[in-house]
Structure 1
Amino acid sequence: MANNQNAELLDKARLLRHDIRDGSFTGYTSGLVPGLVQGNVVILPKVWAEDFLLYCYLNPVSCPLISMSKPGDAMVPALGADIDIRTDIPQYNVFKDGELVEQVTDIEQYWSDDMVSFVLGCSFSFEEALLRAGLSIRNIDLDRNVSMFETNIATAPSAKFFGNTVVTMRPFKPADAIRAIQITTRLPKAHGAPIHIGMPNKIGIEDLAKPEYGDSVPVNDDEIPVFWACGVTPQVAIRNAKPPLCITHVPGKMLVTDKLNDELAVL
């Protein structure tokens, strides 16, 4: 039965990537193909890749590396036999000298033989585990992108890459927040346990209704906001490092892989 369910998941993932590849799907991926790993993507010229790799190593909670390509290789066989990093993300951000200059649905025009791709774990992967445990996730319930905030929590720098941590926020009642901590702790490659709970002003967030990325969601009076490190953190570091060219996913529009979330779990 499990093998049949896994086969169905893989079929759904490949169909979704086909729709992304031909431009018929350009939306957010939260809640899609639950059970499979979703990834944040950073693509850099080779001369910048080593410093960014060190940045990931120094900041494993914000930047949990799950795949890295060879220069010029657009395929990601470790995460899916048919994945083409140039076409299989719903929308890409293109940065030049640290400035966002364009959003596109494929990056073939920017690709060259010295480009190196990094795929980092994403909190969308642990959302499935939370749902499976019976917890409600507000952004999925409301069909919205998750709320993302820039904080005052510094990351460890690597050469020109530096900046503060970006977090995702999901509200829970206190007992559910405890359960969410227990569940996500088992998934370090999907950012693991929350890095902050409650009191958003303590981490530099003044207004939960005004996220820097994604959509706002209501936090009820009997709930507390729970904050996880987010794979948008590298986009802040890229803005500061100012590489001549860098390509990332648009926040909330992730790479959907063929890898099972359970393969990332720590037993």
Structure 2
Amino acid sequence: MAHLLDAPAAGAAAADWDRRDPREVRRACRSRGYTGYTAGLAPGHVQANLCMLPKDWAEDFLLFCQRNPAPCPLIARSDPGDPRLPTLAEDLDIRTDVPRYHVFRDGAFVEEVTDITSLWRDDLVVFALGCSFSFEEALLDAGLPLRFLERGSVAGVYVTDIDAKPAGRFHGKLAVTMRPFKPVDAIRAIQVTSRFPNVHGAPVHIGDPAAIGVDLAVKYKNVGDGTVEPGELPLFWACGLTPQLAVANAKPPFCITHAPSSMLVTDLRNASLAVL
């Protein structure tokens, strides 16, 4: 898997595309020159979780998002069959501009790909959901450390025993991301992230992982860093991978999502989602 520091655009040196520019990031994905995590790319810009479903499943999924705004904060929705999301970026093509995609058939994960042009259908509706990478930038700006970023990783991802609110055919457990802080920093982290309800908002749980059915040694698809040092508190935020759990239960005949932590990078500014 290519990662943040070792994935040049195809046929070019790493310096030939600007990792600070969301358009350049999407072009690198489009050329299959970048297939890694998107944490730290295009600072200041919103990144999005994705779920693409046939039109006759879209209304149920929309209702699932409306009933579960913490894990599923909807920021854009396409017309059926339209691979563009112009409110997020004018040049965006959802079929090529994400580092990696996960493909599901009848609710089961079947393959990971870097381009879905050959899989695209005229009845697919794209849902873009807010991502915690946006509030991570706000945490860093507030002087709060995120050790996993220094290690080239992302926040650990876990499945809780908390039920999401069902909607139509969609139901499942809440997925969360975990970030550890010293107690005084934990208070500040709660304050900072509560200003970003469109990218998961404040934590859903603080402290004992077992109270929400989590074992820090058991990460969802082994994604992220689950290290908690002595004197730190684990804080848990609702995660945009929750829809993937709901898809597995609903078993739509076809669905495409982003691969964990490989997001759609948009032209929206993080500041535009903050509540003052």
Q: Which range, TM-score by smaller chain?
A: over 0.9
Verify: 1:121 aligned to 2:130, yes or no: yes
Contact 1:138 1:217 in 2 (8 A): no
Letter in 2 for 1:138: R
Give the Cα–Cα distance (whole angstroms) in 1 for the partners of residues 274 and 172 of structure 2: 28
State the SS of the aligned residue for 2:220.
coil
Match of 2:80 among 53, 68, 71: 71
Residue 62 of structure 1: how far off its partner (Å) = 0.8
Contact 1:39 1:119 in 2 (8 A): yes
Residue 209 of structure 1: how far off its partner (Å) = 2.6
Q: Which moved more, 1:38-47 or 1:142-151?
A: 142-151
What residue in structure 2 maps to residue 209 of structure 1?
217
Contact 1:31 1:127 in 2 (8 A): no
Match of 2:144 among 123, 126, 135: 135
Residue 145 of structure 1: how far off its partner (Å) = 2.5
Contact 2:19 2:25 in 1 (8 A): no
What residue in structure 1 maps to residue 13 of structure 2?
none
Q: Kindly, what percent of the aligned residue pairs are identical?
A: 55
What residue in structure 2 maps to residue 85 of structure 1?
94
List alignment gaps of at least 5 residues for structure 2: 1-17
State the SS of the aligned residue for 1:16.
helix
Q: Deviations over 1:64-93 (max 9, x none)?
A: 000000001101100011111111110000
What residue in structure 2 maps to residue 197 of structure 1?
206
How many residues align structurally?
A: 258
Q: Deviations over 1:203-252 (max 9, x none)?
A: 0012x132113123421111010000000000000000000000000010
Residue 10 of structure 1: how far off its partner (Å) = 9.9
RMSD value, Cα: 1.2
Letter in 2 for 1:181: I
Give the Cα–Cα distance (whole angstroms) in 2 for the partners of residues 263 and 90 of structure 1: 24
List alignment gaps of at least 5 residues for structure 1: 1-8
What residue in structure 1 maps to residue 6 of structure 2?
none
Contact 1:209 1:216 in 2 (8 A): no
> Moved runs in structure 1, 4+ residues, more than 4 A?
none
Contact 1:40 1:120 in 2 (8 A): yes
Give the Cα–Cα distance (whole angstroms) in 1 for the partners of residues 46 and 257 of structure 2: 17
Residue 11 of structure 1: how far off its partner (Å) = 6.7
Contact 2:158 2:175 in 1 (8 A): yes
Matches within 5 A, 1:11-90: 12-90=21-99
Change over 3 Å in CA distance of 1:132–1:67 after alignment to 2? same
Letter in 2 for 1:210: V
Verify: 1:222 aligned to 2:198, yes or no: no
Letter in 2 for 1:226: L
Normalised to the residue count of structure 1, the TM-score between the two structures is: 0.94
Give the Cα–Cα distance (whole angstroms) in 2 for the partners of residues 134 and 155 of structure 1: 32
Letter in 2 for 1:19: A
What residue in structure 2 maps to residue 4 of structure 1?
none
Residue 160 of structure 1: how far off its partner (Å) = 1.1
Verify: 1:258 aligned to 2:255, yes or no: no
Contact 1:17 1:256 in 2 (8 A): yes
Give the Cα–Cα distance (whole angstroms) in 2 for the partners of residues 253 and 217 of structure 1: 18
State the SS of the aligned residue for 2:158.
strand
Residue 23 of structure 1: how far off its partner (Å) = 0.3
Contact 1:51 1:158 in 2 (8 A): yes
